Amino acid sequence: MRLTTKGRYAVTAMLDLAIHAQNGPVSLNDISGRQGISLSYLEQLFAKLRRGGLVASVRGPGGGYRLSRGSDEINVADVVDAVNESMDATRCNRRGDCQDGEECLTHHLWLDLSDQIHAFLHGITLAQLIQRKEIRSTADRQDSSVRNRIDAVLSTDDMTG
């Protein structure tokens, strides 16, 4: 069992949105630039996150996305569930037909593991992640890198203009 790219990217994008929420709506283009996730993929994820009630879109100039509730009210399991990501460690998708149509010997072990993983992720909110020093440090580095890229483009334009 492993979390696929869809689940990882959804959590990453939601965390980025939560970190930058104090500046108003956050554009998917900004998230894409900071996190290296394609814009088209983010659009697909955010459609699911919007349907899941986790984000709201803001139209118009300066528009983008905002969290639909506080970062302390959104847990990681909510995000993963919203993008229909399975955290199932069984081979049978919980059906119990893993061995010739019957439960395998370890079916309940893997079922319990799946439940533990979901419970673990349910206990972690976006607000808790934002408070972690190493996450703040990474976000600051990403913001600085984006600013440096913009400054480099602007200075190149100044030289050619």
pLDDT digits (tens, 9 = 90+) for 87-132: 788 888 888 898 889 899 999 999 999 999 999 999 999 999 999 9
In the chain, where the domains are located: 5-134
User: 5-134 has which fold?
Assistant: Arc Repressor Mutant, subunit A (1.10.10)
Residue 67 forms beta bridges with which residues?
A: 55
Class of residue 115 by CB neighbours under 10 A (exposed 0-12, middle 13-18, buried 19+)? middle
Q: Please measure the distance between the N-terminal and C-terminal CA atoms of the chain and give it in whole angstroms.
A: 54
In angstroms, the CA 97 to CA 101 distance is 4
Q: What is the pTM of this model?
A: 0.86
